Structure 1
Amino acid sequence: PVPKLTFEAKCRVDTAAFYEAVDDATIVSDYARIIIRPNELVISSKSDVQTHVTRLEKDGSLVHEISTDKEVSASFSLAYLEKIMSASKTLSDETGIELSTNKPIKLSFPLTGGKIEFLIAPRLE
């Protein structure tokens, strides 16, 4: 059975843009912090010598919707995110992201007649 989770924030973004942000983050680290704010989605990764940040702003064409009244964030394995995004990037033009602070992330991809959903546990530091 699928766990019943409630999320503090959700957004819908362009799949290609989110895939590129995840792919870029792998150059720097093996995990990324995903942050949803009322006005933007942020994907950041850092190592001892380098930091990479991608910001997708609500006013732009790549973010279709953001629904939250506060900042929420959690860290996730880029290995899992990259595998999911690589497999899903050709299936759907849009990625749904649902998140709560330091809780699992839900990624959903709408398809004709249904959708594919993934849950990924957070990386706790």
Structure 2
Amino acid sequence: MSYELRDHTADVAVEATADTLSALFAAVADGLTAASAESVPAAGERFEFAVEAEGREALLFDYLDRLIYERDVRLVLPAAHRCEVSEPADDGDGWRLAASARGVPLDAVAAREIKAVTYSEMALERRVDGWYAYVVFDV
């Protein structure tokens, strides 16, 4: 899995690839962390959470939005992301994500505030060689 930060008209974008959808979500989240701080110390405790949504794109959006929320509520920079994406079951339940991150105290990093995740130009697709995502964040 990998990600790259991309310049985007007064915002920042993350472009990521991975072999699995779960690894892709984690790569985009790692990109969010990198967009927030140039260096991230090994400090912080892991925390867990879950997210549900009607579709894949909505799940990615809600996951990233939740990371920004956790940053604001816990006063930590979420880092070292782990997640497991579950497709809808035959009974019609939505997409689910079980996630964890290491919460690095904000006073331990020089963090740039990412205000929000956007749907602007969002891409989430399966390709021949794996999964691809492109996400723009409002800074």
Same fold (TM over 0.5): no
- TM-score, normalising length: structure 2: 0.26
Q: Which has the higher helix share?
A: 2
Structure with bigger gyration radius: 2
TM-score by length of 1: 0.28
